[in-house]
Amino acid sequence: MRTGDLSVLQRPNDRLRRRRVANRGMELLAWLAAAVAVFFLGVVVWSVAQRGASQLSFDFLTKPQQASGGFGPLNVKQGLANAFAGSFVIVGLATAMALPFGILIAIYVNEFASRLVRSAVGLTLDVLNGVPAIVIGFFVFGLIVVAHGQSAYAGAFALAVIMLPLVARSTIEVLALVPDSLREAALAVGAPRWRTTLGIVLPQTIGGVLTGATLAVARVAGETAPLLFTSSLVATGTHWNPSQALQTVPVAIFELSDSADPADHARAWAAALVLILFILFASLGARWLATRSRRKIARAAG
Amino acid sequence: MSSLDVTTDAARRPFPGRRARLGDLVLQGSAGIAALGALVLVGLIAWKVVQGARLSISTFGLGFVTHVGWDPVHLKFGAGSFLFGTAVTSIAALILATPIALGIALFLSELAPRGLRGPITALVETLAAIPSVVIGLWGLIVLAPILRDHVDPALHSALGFIPLFGPPGSYGSNVFTAIVVLTIMILPIIASISRELFLSVPSELKEGALGLGTTRWEMVRGVAFPYARGGVAAAMILGFGRAIGEAIAVGLTIGSATAINANLFKPGSTLAAMIANNYQGASSGLELSSLIYLALILLVFSILVNLLAQWIVRRAARRQGLMAR
């Protein structure tokens, strides 16, 4: 292009220059936009790490909170062990409720349902996914708390409602990836449908299901709103019994950040650091599971 | 549609004439019940929220929706100021977040060097995974003082002729802070959906445009944007839905005032934030019921917003199907 008559096409004129400038400008703006996102992420994570790291200690992880409002003796070492224990119990229970329910929904949608039912259930899951977390908190408040009082069970149910569409969606997606040849092969050798589904198809998707479940756990571990009305009026001390309201990490951060005491803010930052680290590791684990399972399904298909 | 689909459906349908086995019935039955359960769950949510709000509905009627004021002493409650706050914060966050999110999506799908693409995509997803309570804590303690001392006065002196940018108050917790926090929260949602949309633009269309001599920006404006338009609109609506429902981060940063104020640098409140900030302190049955009435309004809006997004996605998918054919 550099030689010959074609060079006349390359000769810059005003119009071409303007188009090139517009192009450069827009490319620059896109770079800038990406920089803005990375900047905000960096600033948030850095603030949390810097303020939280100095507070992290063995006591912070193993000692419970003292009663607020000056009831506890001063200068007593205190941590958030009660919140860690409560989050563990509530998120664990929520996973136990949402996982089987979500997988069954996905099996129905993918293996049994007609096209119409499939899209109806899909729409329902999307609507459920769009219900604000705070509304789900009020739903469980009306369903359970009004009659039976706050409990970790109620909190776990609220979180399970949030997890359900996430787990079901991701399971539907991986079930759809399993090649039909596998189903046909199993049916052809005389396996009943239930054994085909549970024994042949589902095991192929374990990695994908676990990925979805891990991401859902990472998401609800940081949910505050549904727990405010279901598991926030807590007794002091570390408890594990799910029939009483248990403190959780996000609710603790929410309460501590509203306090006027700088020491409470410091604890809130440390709790935020633990929460973010947990979520980061969970997401990384989910990524790893996802690539592993995709390879496995590809091998089964190929 | 194609012959492939026919074999797919045939493989999944029970064989006609074969006796149903007990195991099949149990699995299909329990899976069907689970799927029905999801439908029932949505209905149950709506019913329980309406039931909780009934006292307030029968006391105030539909006037509650527009009544401005929240007076626990005289038992006069209304959603007007919170609806206003929700609308202002969500729309402003959407206006701020959309261009940045589209920029990120374009960067990740068209511009980024191969080595940066993966890491920055992962970083954007990480930003989406940060819990709202952590963003709220950061917004309250780190962001709010910076905005109050530097950004609010600067905006006021530059744009003070618009009533929205009135004289800055002494509080860092105000509507503007909440808007910035919401922007950060919905940015990754819109960006990651848009990125996938731009990646799904057929490369022969893009190459065709570039081959005709367009610059990269002209290709994006003329080919990629029109192709992804429906999806981007749906992504914006989903981000908007997230913004109107966000309770915790907004509740921590908006300052909780129950009056309507045109000035963004004054405290305000939203439907969701009002509920979150009063979780311990409903002083009467009527106030609690009114809070649930707020939740009901929120529920109605979020369902409408979601259905609208679904409708747009389906319409766009149908149109793209026609285009491909």
Q: Which of A27, A168, A223 sits opposite B217 (nearest CB)?
A: A27
Residue that has been written with the tokens 């390359």 in this structure? A10
Query: Which tokens belong to A84?
Result: 């860690």
B157 Cα to chain A: minimum distance (Å): 24
Q: Report which of residues B12 and A287 the model is more confident about.
A: A287
Cβ neighbours of residue B316 closer than 8 Å, sequence gap 6 or more:
B229, B230, B231, B234
Torsion of CA A260, A264, A270, A271, to 10 degrees: -100
Distance in angstroms (rounded) separating the CA atoms of residues B195 and B105: 4
| A vs B: CB pairs below 8 A | 274
Question: How many residues comprise chain A?
Answer: 302
The distance of Cα A45 from the centroid of its chain, to the nearest Å, equals 17
Which pLDDT score is estimated for A129?
93
A28 contacts chain B (CB < 8 A): no
Which pLDDT score is estimated for A153?
96
Cβ neighbours of residue B143 closer than 8 Å, sequence gap 6 or more:
B172, B177, B180, B181, B253
Q: Which of residues 154-173 of A touch B (CB under 8 A)?
A: 161, 164-165, 168
CB A55 within 8 A of CB A269: yes
SS3 content of chain A, % helix, strand, coil (to 5): 75, 0, 25
Which pLDDT score is estimated for B15?
53
Q: Where are the alpha helices (DSSP H) in chain B?
A: 3-12, 22-60, 63-66, 80-106, 114-129, 132-138, 144-146, 152-159, 175-199, 203-211, 216-219, 225-245, 248-253, 271-277, 285-324
pLDDT 10s digits, A16-28: 888 999 999 999 9
pTM: 0.89
Which pLDDT score is estimated for B300?
95
Which pLDDT score is estimated for A17?
87
Cβ neighbours of residue B227 closer than 8 Å, sequence gap 6 or more:
B197, B201, B202, B205, B320
Distance in angstroms (rounded) separating the CA atoms of residues B65 and B46: 18
Chain B residues with beta carbon closer than 8 angstroms to that of A27: 111, 216-217
pLDDT less than 50: residues of chain B? 1-11, 17, 325
Which pLDDT score is estimated for B72?
86
Residue that has been written with the tokens 């299909």 in this structure? B28
Chain B residue whose CA is closest to A10: B213
Distance in angstroms (rounded) separating the CA atoms of residues A120 and A123: 5
Question: How many CA atoms within 13 Å lie on the side-chain side of B314?
Answer: 9
Distance in angstroms (rounded) separating the CA atoms of residues A103 and B281: 39
Phi, psi of A8 (to 5 degrees): -65, -30
Average pLDDT (A54-76) is 69
Distance in angstroms (rounded) separating the CA atoms of residues A265 and A254: 10
Q: Is the pLDDT of residue A76 over 60?
A: no
- Determine which of A11-15, A50-54, B127-131, B208-212 has the lowest per-residue pLDDT on average: A11-15
Q: Is the pLDDT of residue A67 over 70?
A: no
Q: Which of A107, A125, A180 sits opposite B31 (nearest CB)?
A: A107
Average pLDDT (A93-116) is 94
Of A211, A209, A196, residue with least CA distance to A111: A196
Report the mean per-residue pLDDT for chain A.
88
pLDDT 10s digits, A137-187: 999 999 999 899 899 999 999 999 999 999 999 999 999 988 999 999 999
Distance in angstroms (rounded) separating the CA atoms of residues A97 and A242: 14
Which CATH number applies to B63-324: 1.10.3720.10, 3.30.310.50, 3.40.190.10, 3.20.10.10?
Answer: 1.10.3720.10
B172 contacts chain A (CB < 8 A): no
Of A188, A215, A30, A25, residue with least CA distance to B106: A30
Domain boundaries, chain B: 63-324
CATH number of A61-301: 1.10.3720.10
Helix, strand, or coil here: B71? strand
A176 contacts chain B (CB < 8 A): no
Q: Is the pLDDT of residue A64 over 80?
A: yes
Distance in angstroms (rounded) separating the CA atoms of residues A54 and A5: 70
Query: Which tokens belong to A136?
Result: 């789900």
Q: Is the pLDDT of residue A101 over 80?
A: yes
Q: Which of residues 262-291 of A touch B (CB under 8 A)?
A: 265, 268-269, 272, 275-276, 279-280, 283, 287
Average pLDDT (A226-231) is 92
